[in-house]
Amino acid sequence: MKFGVLVFPGSNCDHDAYHVIGAIAKQPVTFLWHESHELENCDAIIVPGGFAYGDYLRTGAIAKFAPVMQEVKRFAESGGLVLGICNGFQILCESGLLPGALLRNAGLKYICKQVLLRVESTETPFTNECTKGDVLKIPIGHMEGNYFCDAEMLATLKRQERIVFRYCDEQGKITPEANPNGSLDNIAGICNEGRNVLGMMPHPDRSSEALLGSSDGFTIFRSMVASLVAK
C-alpha cells in the first residue's frame, strides 16, 4: 500500500504526517505537490494541517481549486481513503467532500492545547481499531475549528452515525466545558456518507508517539493501514 501527503504553499504539518506513516506505521509514503495532476497510485491520501495558500479569503477557499484536489475528489468518489487534519478538514469542507463549515473559534482566539475526544463510531476505516466510547488525548492548534452545519444536516449526521469524534471530558461526558472552540454539538470530526472520507480538527499526527505526550492519535493511522490490508 502507499500513502500520499498533499503539500500546499503554507502547509506546515505535511512532514508530521509523512513521518508518522513512514517512520512509525512503516508504510510507503510520498509527498504530492498541489499542482500535481495525478496521485501516483496512492491507496490513501492525507490532507495535512497548516495554512494552505496562507488561508487567504477563507480557510481552504483557494486550496479547493488546486489541481491535486480535483484528483482527490475523483479518488474519494471512487471509494479511496482520504483523511483531512485541521486545515485539511477545512479544505475538505470547502471542496464539498464533507458537509458544513469551520468557523472562527468562540472567543476569536487561536487555541493550541491537548484535548479529549470520544470515539462515536468505529464503523469507519479510520476508527476500526478503536472501541466505541474510547477517550483519546489528541492536541488541537487552530483559529477556525468551530464546526457548523444547519439543523437538517446535523440530524442527518446523527442519523447516519457520521459524527466520528466529539470533544469530551476525562470521563467521556460531552459537556460545554469540554468544547474548546464552540463547535456545534461538540463535533471534532465527521465522515462522508460513504465513510471513506474523514475530517477532524485535532492532530493525530502530533500524538502518534508517547514522546509527544500521547500516542493515542496513532490509532487513526493504524486503523487506516488495517483497512487497506483487509481490502
pLDDT at residue 57, as a whole number: 85
Q: What is the pLDDT of residues 87-112, one digit of tens each?
A: 999 999 999 999 999 999 999 999 99
Give the residue ranges of the chain where pLDDT is below 70.
Answer: none
Q: What pTM was estimated for this model as a whole?
A: 0.97
pLDDT at residue 231, as a whole number: 82
pLDDT at residue 56, as a whole number: 87
Q: What is the DSSP letter of 186?
A: G
C-alpha to C-alpha distance for 185 and 166, rounded to whole angstroms? 8
pLDDT at residue 143, as a whole number: 96
The CATH number of the domain where 166 resides is what? Answer: 3.40.50.880
Q: Is 172 left (phi over 0), alpha (psi -120 to 50) or beta?
A: left
Residue with cell 470533544: 167
Q: In total, how many domains does the chain have?
A: 1
C-alpha to C-alpha distance for 75 and 229, rounded to whole angstroms? 18
Which domain does 79 fall in, by range?
3-230
Written as one string, the DSSP assignment of 13-82 is SHHHHHHIIIIIS---EEEEETT-S--TT-SEEEE--B-GGGG-SSTTTTGGGSHHHHHHHHHHHTT-EE
